[in-house]
Amino acid sequence: MVVVINDDRVTDIEAYLPIAKAFAAESVKCEEGCISMEVLADPKVEGRVLYLSHFESEEAFRKSVQGAVFKKWLPELGKYFISAEDHIFEVK
């Protein structure tokens, strides 16, 4: 299992969060290997959103980024997107 922390910066966090939460819920429901995904807002950094996800493997995470759920939500999420950085940790 891996933990993925996706560290995003967005222009309008209030508009972005409902979309991000809907994306996360659908990812857990529909993406093979996605165990959980939480959306977190950083109260100290304006526009910072973290996705805290658990996947069965790094391969499952990589597939989800190319999968139908991500592609479906990308246009809506992308309206607010500034940057993102992924951090992948192996659970031992």
Cα–Cα distance for residue pair 3/43, rounded to 1 Å: 22
With a CB cutoff of 8 Å and minimum separation 6, the contacts of 44 are: none
| CATH code for the domain of 61 | 3.30.70.100
**Three-state SS for 4?**
strand
Domain count, the chain: 1
The pTM of this model reads 0.94
Kindly report, residue by residue over 33-59, the tens digit of the pLDDT.
999 999 999 999 999 999 999 999 999
Mean pLDDT for 17-26 is 98
Domain holding 32, by residue range, is 2-90
Q: What is the strand order of the sheet 34-41 is part of?
A: 34-41, 48-55, 2-10, 81-90
pLDDT category, 26, cuts 50, 70, 90? very high
